[in-house]
Chains A and B, each alone.
Chain A
Amino acid sequence: MRLAVVGAGAVGSSVAELAGEYGHTVTALADSGGAVVDPDGIDVDGALERKDAEGTVGTASVADALAGAYDVLVEATPTTLGDAEPGFGNVKTALERDRHVVLANKGPVAERYGEVRELERESAGEVYLEATVGGAMPVLSTIADFGAEHIEAARGVLNGTANFVLSRMAAEGLDYEHVLAEAQDLGVAEADPSFDVEGTDAALKCVILANVLYDREYTLSDAAVEGIRDLPGSALELAAEDGRTIRLIGEVQDGAIRVGPRLIPEHGALAVTGTRNIVELETEHAGLLDISGRGAGGPETATAVLADIGRLSE
């Protein structure tokens, strides 16, 4: 397959770097400042070196990349809320050209799912979005395999930063501010951690799960979201006295979406530690199914993108 990769952050760069190993050719790579386009395949290493040195991968425009020769658009620009631009516009352009789209960007399918599916219906291209929920973990493909109608609920730990903070607080008896500062030093948490610790990121993933499970359009405004900001260490200590712990859990059940800190058994499946993620699917006929793994990271999320590309019809 010929890939146009738009977005050259951790995920987009990793997709471009790993594409050759999976038998694909990158014919365009774009970031917010420019693009490099070659129908015979671009020099990925050269483009990424140029980005390091000059701040952008090349001198062509993003529009050139979207208009170029490719079979699949890999949309890996940052997730934005509201109109989900520029991601949504990129998806639209590719589908209108009858190209496939593989998303790493959560925005278009968390905020404008109905429109994306409508564009897909009118296009010869297909849309896949495994990478938008739980990084390397095969959550959406498992739901697709089981059939969404056979999944009764989905719940789990869907944000590594919040989970790192809570599991460190529980293990070390430290307070929120202390652990957050440590997470920022380690590069686990962003300088502005709001998106993660206020539950927005986990909520977007739950919204996507709900869209896929119920095949209708939910957006962030349909989710009840509470974060972990300023949770005192004493809350975790009290939970531990009773063999429990606290995790930021996202739940999709009976058409409702909730994200918030929840009491769970200390040694239960959902009590993953560090930046590990887990999704538990409550299936109609097969009980609980747990999918755990690395929910974020460049190469990890890129593997989900590449798995989706493998699912596309030629």
Chain B
Amino acid sequence: MSDSTEVRSYTVRLELVDRPGELLRALSPIAEHGGNLLSIFHERGNVTPRGHIPVEVDMEATPEQFDGIVDALRDEGINVIQAGAEQYTEELTVVLVGHLVNTDLSNTLERIQSATGANVDDLSLSAPEGDEGISSARVRLSTNAGGAESALETIRAVADDKDLRVIEPLTAGETA
């Protein structure tokens, strides 16, 4: 019997924006990809520093279905903090400044993700001068435990390569 038909139970931890309909939006990819919902723990009282609400979802699915669910959640722009055994425990936010559009922002992000195994959770771009001018992007990454520093080193190297400025978080001492 191949693994693909073996149904297992999984837990995903999500971080949802506090607005109506968001929970439903997060749950539909699970049903659509054949997952069977077991329980939903919605921690309304426990808001993250950014004002988001942590939600823990237990489900049953085959490994293939589960991979599809996690990908679909991320495609929906839902922040997956933890998926199955894979824990994304460290977050890193940087602001990049420079000719981001001209230097191919998606390539920049791809290079960062592939070199570090980090996941880009959130991206916000501001290009008031248009594609040719100086723009800024805020990038939030999640990395495996202890991976933030090496992700930062990769970001510095990629930025150096593309002549971008990196505004790094001040990590020590204060919780960013």
Please determine whether chains A and B interact with each other in the same assembly: yes
- Tell me the minimal C-beta distance from B149 to chain A in angstroms: 13
Chain A residues with Cβ below 8 Å from B162 are: none
A238 and B126 in contact, given A246-B95, A263-B93 (Cβ under 8 angstroms): yes
Q: 8 Å CB contacts to A: which residues of B124-142? A: 124, 126-128, 134-138, 140
Q: 8 Å CB contacts to A: which residues of B27-80? A: 49-51
What is the total of A-B residue contacts with beta carbons within 8 Å? 87
A251 CA / B176 CA spacing, docked (Å): 16
B7 within 8 A of A: no
* Other-chain residue from B127, B138, B169 in contact with A241 (beta carbon distance below 8 A): B138
A243 within 8 A of B: yes
A260 and B135 in contact, given A242-B50, A246-B95 (Cβ under 8 angstroms): no
Chain B residues with Cβ below 8 Å from A262 are: 167-170
Chain A residues with Cβ below 8 Å from B17 are: none
Question: Contact: B97 with A244, CB < 8 Å?
Answer: no
A241 and B124 in contact, given A234-B135, A264-B174, A288-B173 (Cβ under 8 angstroms): yes
Q: 8 Å CB contacts to B: which residues of A258-310? A: 260-265, 268-270, 280, 282, 288
Chain A residues with Cβ below 8 Å from B124 are: 238, 241-242
Chain A residues with Cβ below 8 Å from B170 are: 155, 249, 251, 262-264, 270
Chain B contributes a number of interface residues (CB within 8 A of A) equal to 27
Question: Contact: B173 with A238, CB < 8 Å?
Answer: no
A232 and B97 in contact, given A238-B124, A238-B126 (Cβ under 8 angstroms): yes
Whose C-beta in chain A lies nearest to the C-beta of B167?
Answer: A261
Q: Which of A241, A244, A269 has the most CB of B within 10 A?
A: A244
A253 and B172 in contact, given A235-B97, A263-B93, A263-B95 (Cβ under 8 angstroms): yes
Chain A residues with Cβ below 8 Å from B127 are: 234
**Besides A232-B134, A242-B138, A280-B174, 8 other A-B contacts (C-beta < 8 A):** A153-B173, A234-B126, A242-B50, A242-B140, A243-B50, A246-B167, A249-B170, A253-B172
B interface residues, Cβ below 8 angstroms from A: 49-51, 93-95, 97, 124, 126-128, 134-138, 140, 165, 167-170, 172-176
